[in-house]
Amino acid sequence: MHDNAPMDNDLYTVAQLRAIEQSAYAALPPGTLMRRAGEAAARFALELLGGRRDRPVLVLAGPGNNGGDALELASNLADAGIDALVLHLPGQREASDETASAHERARDGTVGFIDMLPPGGDWGLVVDGLFGIGLTRALDGQYRDLVAALDALRCPILALDVPSGLDADTGAVIGPDGIAVRATHTISFLGNKPGLHTADGRDHAGQVRVDWLGVDPAQLPSPAARLGSAELFAQRLRPRRHNTHKGIFGDVVVIGGAHGMAGAPVLAARGAMYLGAGRTFAALLDPGPGYDSVQPEIMFRPADGFEFGKRTLVVGPGMGGSAAAMRLLATALDSDSPLLLDADAITLVGASPDLLSRLAQRSAPAVLTPHPLEGARLLGTTAAAVQADRLAAAREMALRTRATVILKGSGSVIAHPDGSMVINPTGNAGLATAGSGDVLAGMCGALLAQGWPAWEAALGAAWIHGAAADLLVAHGIGPIGMTAGELPAAARAVLNMLVNETGV
Ligand SMILES: NC(=O)C1=CN([C@@H]2O[C@H](COP(=O)(O)OP(=O)(O)OC[C@H]3O[C@@H](n4cnc5c(N)ncnc54)[C@H](OP(=O)(O)O)[C@@H]3O)[C@@H](O)[C@H]2O)[C@@H](O)CC1
Ligand SMILES: Nc1ncnc2c1ncn2[C@@H]1O[C@H](COP(=O)(O)OP(=O)(O)O)[C@@H](O)[C@H]1O
Ligand SMILES: [K+]
């Protein structure tokens, strides 16, 4: 059993990792780091092999030091009695001294070398040591063919440091039409990396383990981002006292529901109720349902003329872009209420410098929950550009709006206007269904209404929303066919579990 150390949640950019590597390298005898990488990776490989040690292990070794790690691992596996077969693809450049020594060690030992991927190989494990953080361009030629061939295999694939072809900073597959290894497991050296946890990262990295190769934690820089965890908002998880009443837990008003879109505010309102808001209103722009027969506790009102007071406002679900929507949004922005902007409200802010400056000048808490296209509208760019570097995009949105931003999608990025960033690790593709974002907006609204600061409300809502989806999957409800309406009750279960386990 491998326990995650807290510092495993710290995420470093490639530039930072290079600096960590250099100072560790200078302080140690030559080859030490690569040897340690090869040992740690071999230990992990043996764990993954479990009882299948009689099957051969295929080790792919590339031209750089990532290939050196792979060669070290192969020697270690061979020493442990495993049939380790290396497919080595050296480049034009001369290998580093460490990689050359690793090659020599493998050649001198009982490691087998092969020239091509044998068809129909029955591997116990495949190890990807083609490229690590030194990859600078899209995989092509023999590398691309090899990575494409791996997709047909049905055995575990262990990536060394980073799945080859994946950008360790952004989680994007490198190159237009690029290709990257789809590993089941990744062992990340000298620290964890943002790209393993967002965009394409989760699909390509699989389960991530961090090995620090014995570096001194005191020498580490402050991380560029962190991986989310319940500890980051544990302080707000308070058991409820007996002597309370609904007025203490805040009111949430969901403002949205243009003609034909009443479902979105209803889902948001349910999300708010199930995360503990004292009272929940759906303030609809156009005439809609008088009540929700599933959740009759939600109070429906016409948005026009509704007194928002200091209630927490969740603006945007199904709101449309009408003049009335803009008016309501402007009123909400100018209020002292805690505010969550979602969907059409974000699009409207993106289209209006006036609304953007009203948002940036607020002093009450504000959270934005854009999906990549809404985020692109806010930044005046394309969804593809946002997805190409989700951390940079989220940081820029938070800077421009002076609000906390949750850039949604696989590995949601939560950005604070002060530059802090967290990647949310929970959730699954079951959430890729209409309305799940509305539920998230309502959930975050409920936490704001209960007095959580914007940053913790965003961290908590994203984490609980994803954990709710994970809980549903654990019970066979999805990922295929999961519906947004199933999330609120699961989120409630997660929140109560957290309060019981970690609440102070
Ligand atoms: N140094 C240390 O102490 C430690 C390092 N460690 C390990 O080293 C890894 C980083 O090693 P690295 O810097 O050698 O880079 P790596 O990822 O192996 O690839 C670079 C090579 O690929 C080539 N190349 C690039 N793109 C290409 C493409 N598309 N198609 C083809 N070729 C391409 C590029 O050559 P180029 O053609 O660009 O001149 C170069 O030859 C790191 O991830 C970790 O695993 C650990 O052992 C800890 C200690
Ligand atoms: N593949 C995925 N993995 C994890 N979370 C996802 C995935 N796809 C979507 N989500 C989450 O589901 C929600 C979808 O929100 P959004 O795109 O606004 O949908 P909608 O507008 O239909 O409600 C977000 O919280 C997002 O982070
Ligand atoms: K690799």
64 C-beta closer than 6 A to ligand 1: yes
ipTM over 0.90: yes
**DSSP character string of 456-491:** HHHHHHHHHHHHHHHHHHHTT--STT--GGGHHHHH
Q: Can you list the domains of the chain with their CATH numbers?
A: 6-227 (3.40.50.10260), 242-502 (3.40.1190.20)
Confirm whether residue 352 is marked as ligand binding: no
Interval 402-431: pLDDT, tens: 999 999 999 999 999 999 999 999 999 999
Residue 282: both structure tokens together: 């759906």
> CB of 72 closer than 6 A to ligand 1?
no
CA 418 to centroid of chain Cα atoms: 20
Please tell me the predicted confidence (pLDDT) of residue 205.
98
Gap from CA of 404 to ligand 1 centroid (Å) = 36
**Given this model, what pLDDT does residue 3 score?**
56
- Find how far residue 8's CA is from the centre of its chain: 15
User: In this structure, what DSSP letter does residue 249 have?
Assistant: G
Find the angle CA(103)-CA(143)-CA(198) to the nearest 5 degrees: 105
Q: What is the pLDDT of residue 376?
A: 98
Instruction: Give dist(CA 103, CA 94) in Å, integer.
Output: 12
Residue 347 near ligand 2, beta carbon < 6 Å: no
Q: How many CB atoms lie within 10 A of CB 152?
A: 9
* Shortest-distance atom of ligand 2 to CA 484: 23
Q: What global pTM score does this model have?
A: 0.97
* Secondary structure (DSSP) of 41-108: HHHHHHHHHTT-TTS-EEEEE-SSHHHHHHHHHHHHHHHTT--EEEEE---SSPPPHHHHHHHHHHHH
Question: What confidence tens digit (pLDDT) does each residue in 391-400 have?
Answer: 999 999 999 9
Q: How confident is the model over 300-359, as pLDDT tens digits?
A: 999 999 999 899 999 999 999 999 999 999 999 999 999 999 999 999 999 999 999 999
* Residue 438 marked in a binding site: yes
Most informative mutation of 14, 65, 92, 93 for ligand 1 (most atoms within 8 A of CB) = 65
Category of 350 on φ-ψ map: left (φ > 0), alpha (ψ -120 to 50) or beta? alpha
Q: What pLDDT is attached to residue 362?
A: 97
The pLDDT score that the predictor gives to residue 503 is 57
Q: Is 33 in the pocket of ligand 1 (CB under 6 A)?
A: yes
Pocket-testing residue among 422, 436, 444, ligand 2, by greatest number of atoms within 8 A of Cβ: 436
Q: Which residue has the tokens 């479902």?
A: 263
Q: What percent of the chain has pLDDT over 70?
A: 99
Which H or E element spans position 142?
helix 141-150
Give the bridge partners for 157, in sequence order: 126
Residue 254 has pLDDT above 80, yes or no: yes
- Token duo for residue 297: 């506790």
Spatial distance between the Cα atoms of 416 and 404, rounded to a whole number of angstroms: 5
pLDDT at 121: 85
- Contact in structure between 248 and 276 (CB atoms under 8 Å): no
Cβ atoms 76, 113 nearer than 8 A = no
Pocket lining: 265 vs ligand 2, CB cutoff 6 Å: no
Handedness of CA 314, 319, 320, 321 (dihedral sign): negative
Note the pLDDT of residue 393: 98
Which H or E element spans position 226?
strand 225-227
**CA 452, CA 254: separation in Å to the nearest integer?**
18
**What integer is the mean pLDDT of 6-14?**
95
Rounded-to-integer distance, Cα 163 and Cα 132, Å: 7
pLDDT, mean over the chain: 96
The model's pLDDT over 425-458, given as tens digits with 9 standing for 90+, comes to 999 999 999 999 999 999 999 999 999 999 999 9
Identify residue 220 by its one-letter amino acid code: L
Q: Given this model, what pLDDT does residue 216 score?
A: 86
Tell which residue, 281, 40, 243, has the closest CA to residue 160: 40
Strand 125-129 to strand 57-61: parallel, antiparallel, or no bridges (unpaired)? parallel
Go through the chain and tell me how many residues it has.
504
pLDDT of 504? 56
Strand 366-369 versus strand 404-407 pairing type: parallel
Q: What is the pLDDT of residue 5?
A: 78
Q: By the 8 A CB rule, do 466 and 202 touch? A: no
Task: Assess whether pLDDT exceeds 70 at residue 170.
Answer: yes
Q: Is 174 annotated as a binding residue?
A: no
Mean predicted confidence (pLDDT) in 13-23:
96
- What pLDDT does residue 1 have? 41
The finding on whether 143 has its CB within 6 A of some atom of ligand 1 is yes
- What does the pLDDT read at residue 21? 92
Q: What pLDDT is stored for residue 219 in this prediction?
A: 84
| pLDDT on residue 6 | 79
**136 a known binding residue?**
yes
Token pair, residue 130, equals: 């083609």
Query: Which two three-digit tokens encode residue 1?
Result: 């059993």
